[in-house]
């Protein structure tokens, strides 16, 4: 069991039979009345964030989490398939749960899979990845880094983002996986 006094950002708890990740919490001690804990919780099944308040000292079932290094194999329209590089065991995660992170992954990339109570639930990507530009307008002579303009580009994974005017097809660029923004040439 885990008490509200032991909350940490990133911990997983079970509330009313549903597993949540603690996004943020705050212990509040009002001048009058008993203390309480205000939290932001992300539901593991669908990613929705809710605000919930608990009495101080309330206890919850602690959830066993584990991070395993796996290789991304392919996606088939409903599931994304991964393989454990040590045991060669394959696992599938519903694409809709991880769609925002799938756009930054190529086949055979290694990623960290978060398992909760022995079932895979989330992917942890590095903060930046290097990807090749598959499609964009051709650059013109005089387009430089200080030019200040941007143009749309499609990456090898199918992700779309804005890049500086000097980036051409075939260039490798570094992309921030949290915001989806161009960082630099790779």
Instruction: Residue 152: give its domain's CATH number.
Output: 2.40.50.140
Residue 170 φ/ψ, nearest 5 degrees: 95, -15
Q: Which residue segment(s) compose the domain that 110 sits in?
A: 65-124
Which of the listed residues 46, 62, 78 is the one where a domain comes to its end? 62
Per-residue pLDDT in tens (0 to 9) along the chain, 186 residues: 888 888 888 888 888 888 888 889 999 888 888 889 999 998 877 778 899 999 988 888 878 888 888 999 988 888 889 998 888 888 888 888 788 888 888 888 888 888 887 778 778 888 888 999 988 887 666 555 555 678 889 998 888 998 888 888 888 999 988 888 888 887
CA–CA distance, 186 with 178 (Å, rounded to integer): 17
Q: Verify that 75 and 105 share a domain, yes or no.
A: yes
Residue 40 is predicted with a pLDDT of 92
* Count of structural domains within the chain: 3
Q: Verify that 113 and 139 share a domain, yes or no.
A: no
Beta strands in 44-136 (DSSP E): 49-55, 59-62, 65-75, 79-84, 90-94, 110-116, 119-124, 128-136
* Total-model pTM: 0.65
CA–CA distance, 5 with 20 (Å, rounded to integer): 17
The encoded tokens of residue 127 equal 């903060």
Please check whether residue 135 is in contact with residue 169, taking contact to mean a CB–CB distance below 8 angstroms: yes
Which of the listed residues 11, 43, 62 is the one where a domain comes to its end? 62
Burial of 95 (0-12, 13-18, 19+ CB in 10 A): middle
Which of 112, 146, 159, 120 minimizes the C-alpha distance to 19?
120
Q: Verify that 81 and 106 share a domain, yes or no.
A: yes
Which of 65, 175, 44 minimizes the C-alpha distance to 113?
65
Q: Verify that 39 and 6 share a domain, yes or no.
A: yes
Residue 21 is predicted with a pLDDT of 86
The encoded tokens of residue 119 equal 């079932």
Contacts of 120 (CB under 8 A, 6+ apart): 82, 91, 92, 93, 113, 114
CA–CA distance, 159 with 63 (Å, rounded to integer): 34
């Amino acid at each position: 069991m885990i008490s509200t006094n032991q909350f940490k950002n990133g911990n997983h708890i079970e509330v009313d039979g549903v597993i949540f990740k603690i996004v943020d919490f705050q212990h509040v001690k009002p001048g009058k009345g008993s203390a309480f804990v205000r939290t932001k919780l992300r539901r593991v099944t669908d990613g929705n964030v809710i605000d919930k308040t608990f009495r101080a000292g309330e206890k919850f079932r602690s959830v066993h989490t584990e991070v395993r290094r796996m290789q991304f194999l392919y996606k088939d329209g409903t599931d994304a398939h991964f393989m454990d590089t040590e045991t060669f065991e394959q696992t599938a995660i519903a694409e809709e749960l991880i769609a925002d992170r799938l756009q930054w992954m190529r086949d055979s990339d290694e990623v960290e899979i978060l398992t909760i109570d022995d079932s895979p639930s989330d992917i942890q990507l590095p903060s930046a990845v290097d990807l090749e530009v598959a499609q964009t307008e051709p650059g013109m002579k005089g387009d430089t880094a200080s030019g200040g303009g941007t143009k749309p580009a499609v990456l090898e994974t199918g992700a779309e983002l804005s890049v500086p005017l000097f980036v051409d097809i075939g260039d490798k660029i570094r992309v921030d996986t949290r915001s989806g923004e161009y960082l630099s040439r790779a």
